[in-house]
Amino acid sequence: MWNILTSRKLALWALLGLLLPLTLSAFLPSELTLPEREWAELSRQSPFYFGIASRLATPYLVKTPFFAAVSLLLFLSTCACTVQRVLWGLRGTSPDFSRDRSFSFSREVPFPLSPEEGGGRITRLLASTGWRHERRDAADALVLSGVKGRSGFWGSIVFHVGLLGCFLAGPATYLTALTGELVLTEGVALPLKEGVSLARGKGATLPEARASLHDLRGVYYKGRFKSDFGGVMKISDARGEHELRFEVNRPVEYQGLQFSLHQFGFAPRLVIERSGAAPFDFYLNLRHPREGDFFEVGGGVRALVIFFPDFIREGGKIGTKTEEPLNPVTMVRLYRGETEIGKGLVKPGESAQLGGYRVTVPDYRHWATLVVTRDAGVPFTVFGFVVCVAGLLIRFASNERLVEFELRRQGEESLLTVKGYSRYYPAFLEKEVDALAEKLIEDGVT
């Protein structure tokens, strides 16, 4: 089992086993790549293709047992190979260049010194240029060898340790992640346990606290381009009230939870009164600024509400000139069933009579959606990537190589054979071996 897991070919096959399905899945459409309407249309128009896409497109493939099994195999293989290499490294095992696939280069030159004198000179040269060297006497020659670039080997190990960290992030996230949304109208406080709608995780783990948003701001450049969005989040718990500033990219951190600003919009307060009935009176968080949002107002009546921050009318068309609330107007359309019973435009602080209803917009506020998350996989990811990059840097800067000098007696002088072995960088090896040989000959002559 150990031999199988430490086989480099297994690691390669497992890597391919992950890569090929992932690549094919990336060509399939998913809910992430198609708008909601097109995704629904695909299910109607091409049920077979939709069936494949909805099971094998990347976001779904990565949740299959197959993907988990291949990832586990790759993790185990990486783990075993890393442990094996660490053991090799600790034992001081040198690479066997004669067995491993490697580049080699040799050069034969006459050397003007005897093997004994030459041996001393080579030893000094190797020591002075940072080679870890050793000497052995063969039957007909004196052999001196030097090894350099061992740190590259450790760099590779460090890189794979980082990869293992990244691998562990997946299960850590899967087992611990909490994801949800908190939609809040400015100035309205909600208990977290009630307000956060969870997509994943247990609500019981949410803290006993109330949250509200204040001073929400949405700044646009030239009235069109988003520039600055943020506000203040107030959280009240047993320890008191905490005031936490947030903006896009600067989330709120509270008791291990992260609140990231995700959506932002206007919330006009709409009051609809009719004699004999309790008024409909709410701040409406409008999620679809272009199409409008429907609200049930009671008595079988629905209201379509659109907020124009900078109202403009051109001919028969109405719309907004900019995204900034320079001339805010709320459009309200009332329907009974599918029949429109009244429509009108209402400015803040004004009222209108629509289809027998008195419709008032006293004021408006902002609303925001905060994505609420807690994820134990994050530290693994950060650790993994930092270690991976450190390992690659070491690996990139260093290349393990071996140089051998064989000195054979030829009368008073010697025949010097310089051999270099390296698994990478052939041109560099050749240059280095040439330089060593030339330096030796130069020193030998002088």
Partner 1 sequence: MTFWEEIFLWCAVAGYAGAFVFFLVGTVFRKEAWAGRGVYATVAGFCGHTLAVIFRWQATGHAPVMHTYENSLIGVWFLVLIYLGLKRSFPPSRMFGVVVTPFALLILGNGVMVGAELQPLEPAFKSNWLFIHVLFAWFCFGSYLLAFADGIMYLVKARAPGGGGRLPDLKLLEELSLRLILLGFLSHAVMLGSGAIWAHSLWGKYWNWDPVETWALISWLVYGVNLHLRFTLGWSGNRGAWLAVISLFSIIFLFFGFGHGSSVHTEMFSK
The helix-helix angle for 65-91 and 151-176 (nearest 10°) equals: 150
Residue 76 lies near partner 1 (rule: CB under 8 A) = no
Question: Which listed range, 14-22, 134-142, 184-192, 316-324, lies at the site for partner 1 (CB under 8 A)?
Answer: 14-22
Instruction: Give yes or no for a contact between 63 and 69, defined as CB atoms under 8 angstroms apart.
Output: no
* Two structure tokens written together for 338: 């599918």
Dihedral angle sign, alpha carbons of residues 431, 432, 435, 440 = negative
DSSP symbols for 384-410: HHHHHHHHHHHHHH---EEEEEEEEEE
- Of the candidate spans 231-239, 262-270, 346-354, 411-419, the one that interacts with partner 1 by CB under 8 A turns out to be 262-270
Exactly one of 90, 204, 238, 427 binds partner 1 (CB under 8 A); that residue is: 427
Burial 160-172 (b: 16+ CB within 10 A, else e): bbbbbbbbbbbbb
**Is 49 a binder of partner 1 (CB under 8 A)?**
no
Q: Is residue 54 part of the contact set for partner 1 (CB under 8 A)?
A: no
363 binds partner 1, rule: CB under 8 A: no
From CA 427, how far away is CA 102, in angstroms rounded? 13
Is 206 or 297 the residue whose CB approaches partner 1 more closely? 206
Query: Over the Cα atoms of the chain, what is R_g?
Result: 36
Residue 101 makes contact with partner 1 by CB under 8 A: yes
389 lies in the binding site for partner 1 (CB under 8 A): yes
What SS3 state is found at 148? Answer: strand
- Cβ closest to partner 1, residue 138 vs residue 248: 248
Give the Cβ contact number of residue 57 at 10 Å.
21
Interface with partner 1, residue 244, by CB under 8 A: no
One of 346, 388, 402, 403 touching partner 1 (CB under 8 A): 388
325 sits near partner 1 (criterion: CB under 8 A): no
Q: What are phi and psi of 91, to 5 degrees?
A: -80, -10
CA dihedral 187, 191, 194, 198 (to 10 degrees): 90
SS3 content of the chain, % helix, strand, coil (to 5): 35, 40, 25
- The number of residues that bind partner 1 (CB under 8 A) is 69
Contact between 251 and partner 1 per CB under 8 A:
yes
The residue among 344 and 426 lying less far from partner 1, judged by its C-beta, is 426
* Nearest residue (CB) to partner 1, 259 versus 308: 259
Are 227 and 248 contacting, i.e. CB atoms less than 8 angstroms apart?
no
Rounded to a whole number of angstroms, the minimum distance from the CB of residue 416 to partner 1 is: 23
CB 400 within 8 Å of CB 422: yes
Site for partner 1 in 166-225 (CB under 8 A): 169, 179, 221, 225
Q: Which lies closer to partner 1 via its Cβ, residue 23 or residue 46?
A: 23
- Applying CB under 8 A, the residues found at the interface with partner 1 are 8-9, 11-12, 15-16, 18-19, 22-23, 25-29, 32-35, 58-59, 62, 100-103, 169, 179, 221, 225-229, 247-251, 258, 260-264, 371-373, 375, 377-378, 381-382, 384-386, 388-389, 392-393, 395-396, 423-428, 430
